[in-house]
Structure 1
Amino acid sequence: MDITIHASVLPHDDPDASLVFYRDVLGFEVRSDVGSGKMRWITVGPAGQPSTSLLLAPPAADPGITEAERRTVAEMMAKGTYGWILLATKDLDGTFARVQAGDTEVVQEPTQQPYGIRDCAFRDPAGNLVRIQELS
């Protein structure tokens, strides 16, 4: 079987703030931005990797979600426990400095983990955990 990961999805509650974080702070390319107001679907991805994308989507857009589920999702997003993503870079210290300069909530400074990787963590504007590990 020949399967690749095309896109992964993270929720947003403020599309403009999410766009600034992923485009301006992380340096991702904007591949598409459709919808209006808070109901926008924004696809971003790392430069030079056109087949890998991240879709930033409004969590309330799913027509099958109940009002109680919407409240639960909103509560989890507010706590930062709903979505997360793991990224990788060859320059963890430089990337950390750039993201930290973007006035982003730092969860963990670059740290050597006991399981062998060195990484750091931030929260995006929607509260999603963004972990960045160092490639060797």
Structure 2
Amino acid sequence: MKIAMTSIHVDDQDRALRFYTDVLGFVTKHDIPMGEHRWITVVSPEAPDGVELVLEPAGHPAVRPYTEALVADGIPFTAFAVDDVQAEYERLTAAGVAFTQPPVAMGPVTTAVLDDTCGNLIQLVAM
């Protein structure tokens, strides 16, 4: 058994796709119309056959209170591994990305937290 996909709820699939590809640098794997919404997945360009991130529409009534509570408490929904948190922080800040936590070293781990513009906080992590 292995993890093939994981989901993140987004309040706007078009904005999310632009952010996750044009800003963060992921690559679109699937973009399939499914009625009102689409089945959209993105992958790391370093692992095109790796884990897919599903940009899931946030239409279910439980999603908004859950994601708003996480954001209000400053809790990231998920984390992405990077080689150098400081370098990514500088690159993304220059691209206009808002961070709620700048890079912080915590022993062997450095983290930073960004706002994905689609209702979520995302943690960047380097070991």
Scaled by the length of structure 2, the TM-score of the pair is: 0.82
- Which residue matches 1:44? 42
Structure 1: gaps of 5 or more residues: none
Where 1:112 maps in the other structure, the secondary structure is: strand
Residue 102 of structure 2 is aligned to residue 109 of structure 1: yes
Counterpart CA distance in 2 for 1:43 and 1:55 is 4
Query: In the alignment, which of 116, 123, 127 is matched to residue 131 of structure 1?
Result: 123
- Which residue matches 1:24? 22
Conserved? CA contact 1:77–1:126, under 8 Å:
no
Report matched runs for 1:67-78 at 5 Å: 70=61, 72-78=62-68
Where 2:79 maps in the other structure, the secondary structure is: strand
Percent of aligned pairs with the same amino acid = 27
Scaled by the length of structure 1, the TM-score of the pair is: 0.77
Which structure has the greater CA radius of gyration?
Answer: 1
How many residues align structurally?
Answer: 123
Deviates more, 1:80-89 or 1:9-18: 80-89
RMSD over aligned Cα, in angstroms?
2.3
- Which residue matches 1:96? 89
